[in-house]
A and B are shown apart, each in its own frame.
Chain A
Amino acid sequence: MKKIKIISGIIWAFMALIIILILFPGLNSFSVALSKLPFMKINPNFAGGDAAFSYVQERCTLVVRKPVFDGLLSERKHGFVQLDWRGELPDVISDTIDFDRDGGSDFVVNLKRNDAVTVINPLSDLVTGLNVSVPTSYGWTVRVGLKRE
């Protein structure tokens, strides 16, 4: 029994050596394999949710994301919808958004880029106000707070 313990301990120690030796040459392929696992995606609370639809405008495109209410076990009462303007943005933006595509406008976004002033005019009870309005590498992003129906 003692010998078996010693031999298995030494074998495990050599396996640890192999683990470290294959780690660095295989790092890229191991990372790619890990990144393909189903849970390896950024939570929508950070990533902003999947794109729902887009409006192609004169020199830019407005991408409206799916509303995010993600909680640990179920949806939360409060969430947000993210709007991304991509491309060459005008100095002043004013867009009316129907984020749930029910035919009724939900809010109006007025954005003055130079002054970094963003105003949300809610047209629906589900809209709670402005959460985030920031310049991005691709244009501008606004997150508008929502209540769950």
Chain B
Amino acid sequence: MEKELVINGYRKSFGKSLLYTLPVFLITFVFMSGGRPDFSDPARLVALLVTFAGMNLLYFLMHYTGRTDRYRAILFIIFALSLSFTLISNIVQMRNSMSFSQSDIVECRIPFCHLVIPMMIIPAAFTKSIIFPGSIIGGFADISSMVILWLFATIALGRGFCSWGCFYGGWDDGFSRIRKKPLLKKISDSWKWMPFALLLMVMLTAAMTLVPTYCDWICPFKAVTEFEQVTDTESAIKAGIFISLFGGLVVALPVVTRKRTQCSFLCPLGAINTLSNKITPFTVKIDNEKCTKCYKCTTVCPLFALSREDVNGGRVSVFCSKCGKCVDVCPNNAIHFGIKGVPAGSFRNFSRNLFLFVSFIFISIFSAGSIINTIQSLLNFIIS
């Protein structure tokens, strides 16, 4: 009965779901194939078709079942895995190793990622330059393209970027889903303010030293991308720190708490995205008339964005990444995707359809390249 209630809220008929999928079908086809699929490489073509079909199936299921998070998470986790695979294989092809050397720094050949953005701001304002040894434009993961991608996405989705675009978030998300029930339930949600402290710290230290200190010393995702060659004590300490943080915050804690602990407690860009949640049009709303205060939503929220006080107050905090987990789990359909300015309970289906369309278009096109590359590489490996 409870399951039926949850599903009934947003599920559509088969035909209507197909109709809603049609625009995504056309847009993803144009972007993935460039409007003209390449038939010369069979492995590439198969990879493209599998990615295309898989993505559209996920979007269809979001409408057909009325569930969001389950299907979002599948794409989000695959994106994280495939991006790391693509990045590592590109780096290994360039350098025969996952580690980068002084030569790569001197020649400014380090691929850029969005986590550097908070540290760029003050030096860019004062020195009129970017404190990162990457390429400004052209080449693999250049600074300009990554900044534009993040900027547009954070304006449109706010912290939704953390659940619909960040290719690191999928690692946290994936590990947080391994256990059905959390082993560790009581974690103070005041830890969610930690990224703001870290944001301030890395922005100031980066400004003082003109070095992206978070990337240099802290970032746990070096474990799944690239890291500094261990040549001396300092680089060995750095390696120890990022491996410990990856093991602790990305793997162990998410498994035992079912929360995205790295995203909640460490990520400085997450703090900036939290601020941009103030300007994005999309939000998650609580319909007080329907809410029975069962607090299931507060238990499942992976980013500590929903406390009992928030539910009692009938609002979701700015930490919300619009993953849709609370929306899916609510037995009374009291929580729904909404648009700012529109009262809770109104335009529920319209708001959800529009938000899903915007966010799914972003993640599907953003992730398509790396997923296709990964499937193609796996096919080539199997064939050879």
Instruction: Identify the A interface with B (CB < 8 A).
Output: 2, 5-10, 12-17, 19-21, 23-24, 27, 30-32, 34-35, 38-48, 70-73, 82, 132, 134-137, 141, 143
Contact = CB atoms under 8 A, between A and B. Distances in A.
Contacts of A44: 129
Contacts of B148: 23, 27, 30-31, 34
A136 B341 contact: no
B147 A34 contact: yes
B62 interface: no
B128 A8 contact: no
B357 interface: yes
B14 interface: no
A16 B210 contact: no
5 contacts: A16-B358, A21-B361, A43-B123, A43-B127, A45-B211
A141 B358 contact: no
With most chain B CB atoms within 10 A of its CB, the pick from A7, A15, A27, A31 is A31
B243 to A, nearest CB: 25
B349 to A, nearest CB: 14
Given A31-B145, A32-B144, A45-B210, A38 B128 contact: yes
Interface of B: 27, 31, 101-103, 105-108, 122-134, 136-137, 142-145, 147-149, 152-153, 155-157, 207-208, 210-211, 280-282, 339-343, 346-347, 351, 354-355, 357-358, 361-362, 365
Ranked nearest first, the 7 interchain pairs of A and B with the lowest CB-CB distance are A9-B341, A31-B144, A5-B341, A16-B156, A43-B129, A13-B281, A12-B281
A15 B281 contact: yes
A47 B108 contact: yes
Nearest to A16: B156
Contacts, number: 150
Contacts of A5: 341-342
A42 B133 contact: yes
A118 to B, nearest CB: 12
A5 B339 CA distance: 10
B130 A39 contact: yes
A43 B131 contact: yes
B342 A9 contact: yes
A72 B210 contact: yes
A24 B156 contact: no
Given A12-B340, A72-B126, A72-B210, A46 B132 contact: yes
B280 A16 contact: yes
B155 A19 contact: yes
A13 B339 contact: yes
A44 B124 CA distance: 12
Contacts of B103: 134-137, 141
Nearest to A40: B136
B340 A9 contact: yes
Given A6-B341, A27-B149, A46-B132, A35 B137 contact: yes
Contacts of A48: 106
Given A34-B148, A41-B128, 17 more contacts: A5-B342, A6-B342, A6-B346, A6-B347, A12-B339, A13-B282, A13-B339, A13-B354, A16-B157, A19-B155, A23-B148, A35-B136, A35-B137, A39-B128, A40-B136, A42-B136, A143-B106
Contacts of B131: 43, 45-46
A73 B126 contact: yes
A46 B123 contact: no
A60 B273 CA distance: 49
Given A20-B362, A44-B129, A31 B142 contact: yes
Contacts of A82: 106
Task: Kindly name the residue among A9, A32, A44 whose own CB sees the greatest number of chain B CB atoms within 10 A.
Answer: A9
